[in-house]
Amino acid sequence: MIRILVPVDGSELALDAVHHALALAREGLSATLVLANVQEPASFYELATKDSDIIAAAAVEAGQDLMASAVALVRAAGMPCETEVVLGEVAATLVDLAEDHGCGLIVIGARGQGAISSALLGSVSQAVVRLSPVPVTIVKHPEPEEGEVEEEGED
């Protein structure tokens, strides 16, 4: 059975990745999902002005909240999954999680950026592809059908 790491940040793009991983399982891939949320570490200012344990607990709680809809989706599909909320630099931490959990595949949502924006800013999915020793599937958000209006704020 293959283990699939699916990064989840509470966005529709992340849910697209969850849907794709579930579709792979429905099509016959024997898999277990590892849903992961990476919270960025606290800033020096936050660490200097607040208790680090309180900051870490708040980050874990925020990560669990961001994963709630993905966890519900996977459980409704009857698929086994694990969840993990950790602190760290997002792309490198995701690759470390994939290795730690013995994942053979990472399925990640794509950020819908243009070529110039992507080249200047980079993206988590591109960084994961560069760093990962296992295959990475980048799931693009479906384009709106003709006549549909894309919601404001989406890429």
Is 119 a domain residue?
A: yes
Which pLDDT belongs to residue 117? 47
Q: What is the DSSP string of the chain?
A: -EEEEEE--SSHHHHHHHHHHHHHHHTT--EEEEEEEEEPPPPHHHHHHS-HHHHHHHHHHHHHHHHHHHHHHHHHTT--EEEEEEES-HHHHHHHHHHHTT-SEEEEEPP---HHHHHHH--HHHHHHHH-SS-EEEEPPPPPPTTPPPPTT--
Is 155 a domain residue?
A: no
Is 152 a domain residue?
A: no
Number of structural domains, the chain?
A: 1
Is 101 a domain residue?
A: yes
Is 145 a domain residue?
A: no
Is 147 a domain residue?
A: no
Is 66 a domain residue?
A: yes
pTM for this prediction:
0.82
Is 108 a domain residue?
A: yes
What tens-digit pLDDT sequence spans the chain (155 residues)?
Answer: 999 999 999 999 999 999 999 999 999 999 999 999 999 876 655 656 667 777 778 888 999 999 999 999 999 999 989 999 999 999 999 999 999 999 999 999 987 554 554 554 448 999 999 999 999 999 988 777 766 665 554 44
Domain span at 114 = 2-139
Tell me, what CATH number does 127's domain have?
Answer: 3.40.50.620
Which pLDDT belongs to residue 120? 44
